[in-house]
Amino acid sequence: MSIDHRAGAHGERSVGNTAGSSDLAPTREQLAAMSHAELDMLGARLDDTEVVVLSNPPPPGSIAEKRAERQVALCFGLATLFAFAFVIVFWGAGWFLPDWEYEVGGSAFGTLFTPLLGLTMGSALAFLGIGIVLWAKKLMPHEVATQGRHGGASDPVDAQTAGGTIMAGFARTGLARHNIVRRSLLGAAGALGLLAIVPLGGLIKDPNRGRELVETAWDEGIRLLRDDGTPIRPSDMQPGSLETVFPAVEGGNRQADAATMLIRLRREQVEAVEAPPGQEDFGWEDYLAFSKICTHAGCPVSLYEQETGRILCPCHQSQFDVTRGASPAFGPAARALPQLPIAVDEEGFFVARSDYPEPVGPSFWNREKVEEG
Amino acid sequence: MTLSKPESGAARRRRRRLRRKLSRAAALLATLIVTGGLYAAMAPGSVAEDAADSNAVEAGRELYEQSCITCHGSNLEGVSDRGPSLIGVGEASVFFQVSTGRMPLARQGEQAFRGPVTFTDDEIDQLMAYIQANGGGPTLPSGDLRDGELAAGGELFRLNCASCHNFAGRGGALSSGKNAPNLSEASDLQMYAAMLSGPSNMPVFGDNQLTPEEKRAIINYVQTLDESTDPGGLGIGRAGPVPEGVVIWLLGMGVLLIGVFWIGSKA
């Protein structure tokens, strides 16, 4: 590609003067006689800018220009067509086109309705964009402008007078003299700042206050309920099954930390159980209950593999061995899932014997500390 | 809604009387059917049926000894490191394993996968009869297995099944090379049998945990998923946000980059 410098651009270029080249300034009559393009170039020269033309568009009336025009017009035309197609699909559905209502096993048009809207709108925008880019590429000159770097500090007179303008303006406000106005304004500004900061306070919570992170709604005698609120008898579940249970308190099945897995082991698994020390009596016969919240990142661990007795967390593939107190057997989780001590009440329904012995879910910075407190 | 024309009181009364007569007739018919059905169910079965049953058990035993005995033992007691005991697994388990081609097992591995079915329907019935005759266990249901409330089925599916089988029933990975299979190939009866018997690593969902009505609702939901269209366009396997992300990153970003290069290139 050849770079052709515009004739004359170099010679008239003035270097280094911030104020522009006064020797270039034309008279009023000269200005009136100049065309738009000439005025544009004059402005650039006065700004110490040089425009280098890389390539010119095809000459007017040439075959190349006609072809480029047709391409751009075709793109704009297609954009118009697609925009109309969008309107037709949108308003036509249920009028002269079939209705688009979603239904199981629905019509082909119902399936295509949304994609058609996306396709027509997307195509209209895309062809408009392609047309604009083609227009710029094929029908406009390609230029590069360079501008000389201006000198450093402002003229001392300019700097001093500008400073004077600001200081005199301040003096005219009288703020230095009217103490009461100044102070009350400062007070108002400070109060407004406080107003902006105060809502942030709601986001800050003392993690050492309260036992929210340590305790769940489970407590002695609280029944284990299914999601639909029904209690569970030991005869309800088959060996090798799992049920997600919630505490029998108001809104228990919406509490993020209370979700618990009630698992009934198969006979051969019961024999293989190695409960961790202190948790030997947490289960009830062949039933065990563990927190459903992963100790790694807090995902619900509900992929229970009843044959291997492993609970898999879908987020990071941590695995917990049910027969060994849900201790981690694989993956990033470092602690066992907390076990809920369970029993059966007089009416024959499962109840909790206490809350979890430790905080459920992932570790947090002061976990050990709040656990003791 | 249609607006009904005002009608005379006499006509209304006539119609009400007719309706009352019809409902009485229907009640009588229903009572007769129930009584007859109960009698048929309670009355001792005919000798011919018993003979047919024992024939089926005998034929099942022969099939068992040809195809299953190596891994499940000569008395269904199982062989350690090969196959589990089949005592008490019931016909539901046999139906699921054999009708999906998982059994007879092609080779020992992490899990039995769906494959070509080895036995004919009659042979499967015979195997089911043989296993059921030895230790009993869950039996197959009858009737319309999709006879359940669709929305409730969706709730139950997301609560009990979606964690492993994916929210659209497309299956998913488990640990150590095992997986929860795609449900689009499963028949109604296979799904029901799987819930009852808990094949491989799937937990068991007994009738006290998910009632037969709830099971039917879940099956109705899963089968409806297959028939439902993708109103948003391409389903991309409906496997969730990962393939959707891959498509938009590779395809979408690719198209955008090509566009950027084209705009930036010199004419």
Are both A51 and A67 inside the same structural domain? no
Contact (CB<8Å) B201/A307: yes
pLDDT for the residue B45:
52
Residue type at A52 in one-letter notation: V
Q: Where are the domains of chain B?
A: 48-133, 150-229
Do domains B48-133 and B150-229 share one topology? The answer is yes
User: Is B229–A240 a contact, with Cβ atoms under 8 angstroms apart?
Assistant: no
Q: How far is CA A199 from CA A186, A192, A231, in A?
A: 21, 12, 43
**Please, which pLDDT band fits residue B46 given cuts at 50, 70 and 90?**
low
Any domain includes A273: yes
The CATH number that domain B150-229 falls under is: 1.10.760.10
Residues B214, B195: Cα–Cα separation, whole Å:
11
Average predicted confidence (pLDDT) for chain B: 85
% of chain A exceeding 70 in pLDDT: 91
Q: Which residue has the tokens 């590609």?
A: A1
Q: How far apart are the first and last CA of chain A?
A: 78
Shared-domain flag, residues A330 and A248: yes
Neighbour tally for B24: CB within 10 Å: 10
Q: Which of A86, A115, A141 is the last residue of a domain?
A: A141
| Interval A311-355: pLDDT, tens | 999 889 999 999 999 999 999 999 999 999 999 999 999 999 999
* Lowest mean pLDDT across A42-46, A191-195, B121-125, B149-153: A42-46
Q: Do A7 and A115 fall into the same domain? A: no
Taking the CA of residue A297 as centre, how many other CA atoms within 13 Å lie in the half-sphere pointing to its CB?
9
Best residue in B175, B179, B213, B228 for a mutation probing chain A (most A CBs within 10 Å) = B175
| pLDDT tens string A249-298 | 999 888 989 999 999 999 889 988 998 898 889 999 899 999 999 999 99
Assess whether A44 and A72 both reside in one domain: no
Task: Work out the pLDDT band at A8, boundaries 50, 70, 90.
Answer: very low
Asked if residue A86 and residue A46 are part of one domain, the reply reads no
Query: Per the domain annotation, does A13 fall within a domain?
Result: yes
* A106 in contact with B, Cβ within 8 Å: yes
For B84, the token pair is: 């589990």
**What is the predicted pLDDT for the residue at B50?**
67
End-to-end CA distance of chain B: 65
Both A38 and A84 in one domain: the answer is: no
- Of the candidate CATH numbers 3.90.1150.10, 3.30.420.40, 3.30.70.250, 1.10.760.10, the domain formed by B48-133 belongs to 1.10.760.10
Task: Based on the fold, state whether residues A263 and A329 are members of the same structural domain.
Answer: yes
The answer to whether A208 and A369 have CB atoms below 8 angstroms apart is yes
Q: Are A240 and A314 contained in the same domain?
A: yes
Q: Per the structure, how many domains does chain A have? A: 3
Query: Does a structural domain hold residue A45?
Result: yes
Which tokens go with A73?
């017009």
Residues A255 and A332 in one domain: yes
Question: CA-CA distance, B204 to B198, in Å (whole number)?
Answer: 4
Average pLDDT score over chain A: 87
Q: Is A341 found in the same domain as A239?
A: yes
What is the DSSP secondary-structure string of A306-331?
TTTTEEE-TTT--EEEGGGTTEEEES
Partners of A310 in the β-ladder: A305, A321
Answer yes or no: do A237 and B164 touch at CB < 8 A. Answer: no
Give the nearest partner residue to A137 out of B172, B175, B267, using CB atoms. B267
The string of pLDDT tens digits covering residues A50-87 is: 888 878 888 999 999 999 999 999 999 999 999 999 99
Phi and psi torsions of A124, nearest 5°: -60, -45
Work out how many CB contacts closer than 8 A connect A with B: 92
Residue A310 burial (10 A CB sphere; 0-12, 13-18, 19+): buried
Last residue of a domain, one of A55, A76, A98: A55
- Report the pLDDT value the prediction gives residue B43, as an integer from 0 to 100: 63
State whether B159 and A244 contact (CB < 8 Å): yes
Pair of tokens at residue B164 = 């492993």
Distance of CA A292 to the CA centre of its chain: 28
Chain A hits for B180, Cβ within 8 Å: 303
Q: By the 8 A CB rule, do A167 and A75 touch?
A: no
Interface confidence: ipTM more than 0.95: no
d(CA A164, CA A172): 12
- Are B231 and A138 an interchain contact pair (Cβ–Cβ within 8 Å)? no
Exposure pattern of A195-209 as b/e (b: 16+ CB <10 Å)? eeeeeeeeeeeeeee
Residue A341 belongs to a domain: yes
| Residue B203: closest CA among A322, A255, A330, A252 | A322
Which tokens in the block code for residue B142? Answer: 């009858």
The single-letter DSSP state of residue A12 is: T
Q: Per the domain annotation, does A306 fall within a domain? A: yes
Task: State the residue range of the domain holding A93.
Answer: 63-141
